[in-house]
Chain A
Amino acid sequence: MTDTTTGVTRAEFCAVACAEVFRGDGEVMASAFGTAPALGARLARLTFAPDLVLTDGDAALVDGAPPLGARPDSLVLESHMPYRRVFDVVWSGRRNLIMMASQIDRTGNQNISAIGPWARPKAQLVGVRGAPGNTVNHTTSYWVPSHSTRSFVEQVDVVSGVGYARAAAAGPSATRFHEIRSVVSNLGVFDFGTPERVMRLASVHPGVTVDDVVAATGFELVIPDDVPDTRLPTDEELVLLRTVLDPKGMRDREVKP
């Protein structure tokens, strides 16, 4: 879906919305799963978050913001970051992460473990991975490229990433460093800035209506009286996205134009 007045594609709105997740955090390690988050982290690094630390997706931190699919020998390496050291960063809190979610629910629980009953799931997914630890140690956000009542559910089947209600129930050690900052989907941006810490619609991507979002969501969202549009990319951001970071248009394969 392309916004007809501006020519900006839906995937570009998503990338910019993901970039916003990294605003104001200074020198933290950005980890990003999925194409829009990968672009968002790079965009932030090249514009309003110059101190952000990016990884090569393997075992190193890299200087600058390499384009998607950059050849490994073209990267300027800054530091060695094998998995064991990643946990030092996770547990220190100096990280801001966008993970994906097979399911996400009203209070921000995320599931990447299994669909159906745990003992004998209908579908075993990848596993909880680092989601339990990430969410109670540092700022975490989620990216859901196909927003539907199957992904936005009343209650996730297996709590992998910890949401607000579950963290509160687990006590102060769980809430101390817990922050689910944002959920970005192909339809809009969501946060938990409500007194009850439940999911609120923060903006819709241009071309999407509030009704579209409500219809695609399997639980009751908090809908403010005025829901703004997701902000437009700046001219600089569009040039960076289109000619520097993703000239092959991988973003449009994840979220169709």
Chain B
Amino acid sequence: MADKRMTLDEFVGELSPGMTIGIGGWGSRRKPMAAVRAILRSDLTDLTVVSYGGPDVGLLCAAGKVAKVVYGFVTLDSIPTDPHFKAARQAGAVEAMEIDEGMFYLGLLAASQRIPFLPTRSGLGSDVLVVNPSLRTVRSPYDDGEELVAMPALRLDAAVVHVNRADAAGSGQILGPDPFFDELFLGAADRRFVTTERVVPTEQLGAEGPIQTMCVSRLLTDGVLETPGGAHFTACVPDYGRDEGFQKEYVAAAGDPDAWAAFRERFLAVDEAGYQAATREAADERAAAKAAKEGK
């Protein structure tokens, strides 16, 4: 089997400005954040980002990497909205394709099946069809004659997802309760990347979890990147939960230009190892501050 392991720099090297990039996970859960951070450090611009959006979208918008976002929502889960995405939309800085999250699923499914669209009731009557004038309806060729939305394939130039375990050949294992739409992101893309907490020998996957957790096959992957803590600060259960303290810091910093400059300097202007070290240090500082406040 081919060894598909690569570095974050090699991953970024396979992307180019103007690409449409799908990002796996959901909201502030199991996002391939190490890969997103690598894009933030690169000179890539003008990207179309396709995402069940979380802080991946916010960070990329804040860094001026994004021309267009395709999404059904952008949320941090425990905090309803992402401040940078909000700011970008309110400034008119990014083009937006906002669609029903089921339409989004069908767009990925159509792309992964290499068909131009899939019909759905979802979207009918809503402003999704008004604010996205390129969307069309289609009439059933059968006797029912129903008129449905023809959700176009969301074809991706590249996709990246984050999983708990993978082998070097690109079989991925998701140990948390929800695989989300990661398989479909990979299926919809020309270049497919899987970041993982840990690369393990293939024979160890069975010891890590049951067969149902081995849901990304190597048929769907071109590159495997070992990025421990690579979903931080989003949740990557059972390896770790969301770093709520850090997420709050992220949101607080976004509200003030000086604070954001300091945040960027400390956490984003460094390489991935530097990020992991700096966020551990920040967690210690928060714990110390909390202890001091409680008079311990």
Q: Which residue numbers of A lie inside 8 Å of B, CB to CB? A: 58-60, 80, 82-84, 87, 90-91, 113-114, 118-133, 135-137, 158-162, 166-167, 169-174, 176-178
Contact = CB atoms under 8 A, between A and B. Distances in A.
Interface string B178-208: 1111000000000000000000000000000
A126 B90 contact: no
B72 A130 contact: yes
B123 interface: yes
Interface in B136-168: 146-148
Interface of B: 26, 53, 71-75, 80-81, 85-86, 89-92, 98-103, 105, 120-128, 130-131, 146-148, 177-181
A62 to B, nearest CB: 12
B85 A124 contact: yes
A172 B148 CA distance: 10
Contacts of A125: 80-81
A171 B179 CA distance: 35
Nearest to A111: B127
A8 to B, nearest CB: 30
Given A59-B177, A127-B72, A133 B90 contact: no
Given A83-B26, A132-B126, A124 B75 contact: no
Contacts of A83: 26, 178, 180-181
B100 A131 contact: yes
Contacts of A127: 53, 71-75, 98
A105 to B, nearest CB: 12
Nearest to A80: B177
B125 A91 contact: no
B107 to A, nearest CB: 12
A172 B146 contact: yes
A90 B125 contact: no
A167 B85 CA distance: 30
B98 A119 contact: no
B128 A128 contact: yes
A133 to B, nearest CB: 3
A57 to B, nearest CB: 11
Contacts of B86: 123-124
Closest 9 A-B residue pairs measured CB to CB? Answer: A133-B122, A127-B73, A132-B126, A170-B125, A59-B177, A124-B89, A162-B125, A120-B92, A174-B124
B105 A84 contact: yes
A87 B120 CA distance: 11
Contacts of A136: 121-122, 124-125
A133 B120 contact: yes
Given A118-B127, A133-B103, A84 B121 contact: no
A121 B90 contact: yes
Given A82-B177, A124-B86, A126-B75, A133 B100 contact: yes
